[in-house]
Amino acid sequence: FLGSTADLPLLGKKIVVTAGPTRERIDPVRYISNFSSGKMGYAMAEVAAELGADTVLISGPVDLPKPSGVKLVQVESAAEMLESVLSYYDDASMVIKSAAVADYRPKEQHAQKMKKKDGDSTIELERTTDILKTLGDKKEKQILVGFAAETNDAIGYGKSKLTNKNLDYIIVNDVTDPGGGFGNDTNVVTLLTRKGNQYPFESMQKNELAKVLLKTIIAEEWPNSN
Ligand code: CTP
Ligand code: CA
């Protein structure tokens, strides 16, 4: 018995999830990164697999165990994450971009450890590629889901990212909300859809939230699957 489609609404679907921070190297011993724990993305991948999806989790460096039932691909930089995501994109039904991708990287990567000098210093930065926008620009049938962590006007910024990156869904949260954010086990988010629907969710555990978020998206996309 393989389960009914009600138990496994994502059976036969390929889902790509990205999670965690990226690391952008300065020299062999230093990098630029952020505080993303990867918990939300790992929870999304685990739930996608539980719901029957053939799931690939492309992860930056995090301190979390591999969720059961997923294929884990470990990457370091935004450039590596882009390359990996693109390699799975053509066959994907859905891409969920939970990763906190660095917006900038050092313009130069020094081959040797940089030595300190007297006085102040600067590091020149250049933009990384916006992975999600790249996917949005070449989208065919894929469903694209973004995340946006904001400190103010979360809904407003979320809506413009939804449009600018050609997404189908964006999950926004205000990281200053005491009910959730970077590193916490709980999160409080609003799901915005391309069609203009808004689903606000109360603060809950990230794995529970992953379940309701995916079920809401499934109900919007494939209403006959449950
Ligand atoms: N994202 C991405 N590639 C980047 C930057 C962001 O794929 N180089 C994705 C993130 O994974 C997330 C979404 O875009 O799903 C929104 O990320 P966010 O950092 O909130 O938006 P930015 O467009 O980078 O804008 P800003 O940081 O200025 O708010
Ligand atoms: Ca950003």
Residues classed as catalytic? 34
pLDDT for 52-93, tens place per residue? 999 999 999 999 999 999 999 999 999 999 999 999 999 999
Residue 177 has a pLDDT of 83
Residue 225 has a pLDDT of 72
Which one, of 192, 90, 170, 77, lies nearest residue 138 by Cα? 90
Q: Is the CB of 103 under 6 A from ligand 1?
A: yes
Q: What are 69-78's contacts with CB under 8 Å, separation 24+?
A: 70/17, 70/45, 70/46, 75/22, 76/22, 76/23, 76/25, 77/22, 77/23, 77/24, 77/25, 77/102, 77/105, 77/128, 78/22, 78/24, 78/102, 78/105, 78/128, 78/129, 78/131
How remote is the CA of residue 196 from the centroid of ligand 2, in Å?
23
Q: Is the CB of 9 under 6 A from ligand 1?
A: no
Q: Encode burial over 115-139: b for 16+ CB neighbours within 10 A, e otherwise.
A: eeeeeeeeeeeeebebbbeebbeeb
Least-confidence region, from 9-13, 18-22, 65-69, 174-178: 174-178
Which one, of 126, 201, 130, 210, lies nearest residue 164 by Cα? 130
Please give the single-letter amino acid code of residue 132: L
d(CA 131, CA 89): 11
Closest atom of ligand 1 relative to the 164 alpha carbon? 23
Rounded to 5 degrees, what are φ and ψ at 104?
A: -135, 150
Residue ranges at the known binding site? 103, 113, 147, 161, 165
How remote is the CA of residue 1 from the centroid of ligand 2, in Å?
44
Confidence tier at 20 by pLDDT (50, 70, 90): very high
Closest atom of ligand 1 relative to the 102 alpha carbon? 8
Residue 6 has pLDDT above 60, yes or no: yes
d(CA 61, CA 74): 7
Helix, strand, coil shares of the chain as percentages rounded to 5? 25, 25, 45
Question: In this structure, are strands 54-59 and 14-19 parallel, antiparallel, or unpaired?
Answer: parallel
Residue ranges at the known binding site for CTP? 103, 113, 147, 161, 165
How remote is the CA of residue 52 from the centroid of ligand 2, in Å?
31
d(CA 183, CA 177): 13
pLDDT for 156-170, tens place per residue? 999 999 999 999 999
R_g over Cα of the chain: 18
Residue 3 has pLDDT above 70, yes or no: no
Q: Is the CB of 148 under 6 A from ligand 1?
A: yes
Q: Is the CB of 144 under 6 A from ligand 1?
A: no
Q: Which residue out of 57, 131, 174 has the highest number of ligand 1 atoms within 8 Å of its CB and is therefore the one to mutate?
A: 131
How remote is the CA of residue 100 from the centroid of ligand 2, in Å?
7
Residue 174 has a pLDDT of 87
Query: What is the longest distance spanned by two Cα atoms in the chain?
Result: 70
Do the interacting molecules here have an ipTM over 0.85?
yes
Ligand nearest to the CA of 150: 1
Show the domains of the chain with their CATH numbers. 14-106+124-221 (3.40.50.10300)
The answer to whether the Cα torsion of 79, 57, 71, 134 is positive or negative is negative
d(CA 175, CA 168): 22
